[in-house]
Structure 1
């Protein structure tokens, strides 16, 4: 099956009360000989300003994730970030990327349409011959003592890290597990982390003021990728299917009973 083919069957977890902290998709491209961020942001404002009326300029920071936390590295330049009226949706654009992020994700089709609309606005401001990376990412966050105590009932051992190997009479304070899988031409990065209050796996994910457990699924493909809208849609469907199917593989029937009610 080619990288543009769909998985045999996509098993999306359509839950009434999903533990999603955010959904994020990003498209990256190589360095361009000419890129005018102001021109690109003007096109986004003209085309999508009604849906994203607020704008904020930020710094793009390169980060390295380690077992002891996140170490910030040098700035990679300026980015513009557009927000919806309720600030639950945002489009970010920088010299080498465009990303869509939502904390109010409802369905895959709506999300992909919004991302493609953002890319169309970017293309109005700059010519991009090819993409170098397309990724689709789901970040789940479990909070509350009752649900944290039930992690072993809701998830398979492979994603629980230190939860399945804690010493007797010990409380797990921090644990991080990372795995990368190759799926045809794509990759799936799976990270799980038990975090204390005020901690996060990276700067782009705001922390919460209580202990939490994160399951982060990032499906992506790298290489010489075409910019055609239909082909990008196919890749997004394929990548989200990889992440969704893996999520279905690592949760139990008790998980569905808890989060689909």
Structure 2
């Protein structure tokens, strides 16, 4: 192993961040789940919440909640019944979503875990001003990477660890073309923490998640959802920040194990 690539996805060895100037990261999403609250079962809830965050997220859209049902071996999209309010930043690249049961922060312009976890803490504090949230039941931190660089796709065996590359690393010698391959692994880290990983090749116009736009050319994806789940997760904004930072570090460690130093260098990392 080189000094940068980790030996285990859930080890204790030091894992310093390696910023990537052209990272293939297309989305970062955090979500806080909670039991439905009476005060949020009202059209006025969006107005009250908007008054708290409107300066940073001035644009409003209303829609239906979109859920992903995760069962062993598959992820199935399901349209929820709850209304969801989406508040967008001035550049429309960061979104805060509120429903009666969840609060989420999503961005396509990720500035790092410190900045993002601080923003999550701020919107959770705003929610507490609107509604008393006794506790959260789940905190999730999700990274979605999508490699679309054709040069990188042609050299995946040098960029991705063999255990993750799987069938994408098999030489087919022109006898067939791999059209689609998606693997999934679920890990239990301790009594409350876990990680769901998905990776593989997508065909042109394909996507593994309906909430993520498709890409017109072939791509390779690595999606990591690190989560903390319990019946009583503190709703204190600073504790939310602490949990989010821990989950981010766990997902990043898996990412660093899955990719090689050549991957880091290819996408602008300085080793």
TM-score by length of 2: 0.86
Give CA deviations for 1:129-161 in whole Å, capped at 9, x if unaligned.
Answer: 010000111100000321111111111022223
Aligned to 2:43: 38
Taking structure 1 as reference, are residues 66 and 188 closer, same or farther at Cα in structure 2, changes over 3 Å only?
Answer: closer
Taking structure 1 as reference, are residues 63 and 193 closer, same or farther at Cα in structure 2, changes over 3 Å only?
Answer: same
CA drift of 1:245 comes to 0.9
Structure 2 unaligned runs (5+)?
1-11
- Residues 85-96 of structure 1 aligned to structure 2 (within 5 Å): 85-96=90-101
Aligned to 1:4: none
Give CA deviations for 1:192-248 in whole Å, capped at 9, x if unaligned.
Answer: 031112211112111111111110011001112111122111111110010011111
Aligned to 1:207: 214
CA drift of 1:73 comes to 3.1
Aligned to 1:190: 197
1:73 and 2:50 matched: no
Structure 1: distance between partners of 2:246 and 2:150: 35
- Cα RMSD of the aligned pairs, angstroms, is 2.2
Structure 1: distance between partners of 2:72 and 2:153: 21
Aligned to 2:109: 104
Structure 1: distance between partners of 2:64 and 2:15: 36
Structure 2: distance between partners of 1:67 and 1:30: 24
Aligned to 2:177: 171
Aligned to 1:248: 256
Structure 1 unaligned runs (5+)?
1-6
1:39/1:125 contact within 8 Å kept? no
1:137/1:218 contact within 8 Å kept? yes
Structure 2: distance between partners of 1:38 and 1:27: 21
Query: Which region of structure 1 is more displaced relative to structure 2, 70-79 or 181-190?
Result: 70-79
CA drift of 1:181 comes to 1.3
Structure 2: distance between partners of 1:166 and 1:32: 54
Taking structure 1 as reference, are residues 9 and 40 closer, same or farther at Cα in structure 2, changes over 3 Å only?
Answer: farther
Aligned to 1:257: 265
TM-score by length of 1: 0.90
Taking structure 1 as reference, are residues 120 and 38 closer, same or farther at Cα in structure 2, changes over 3 Å only?
Answer: farther
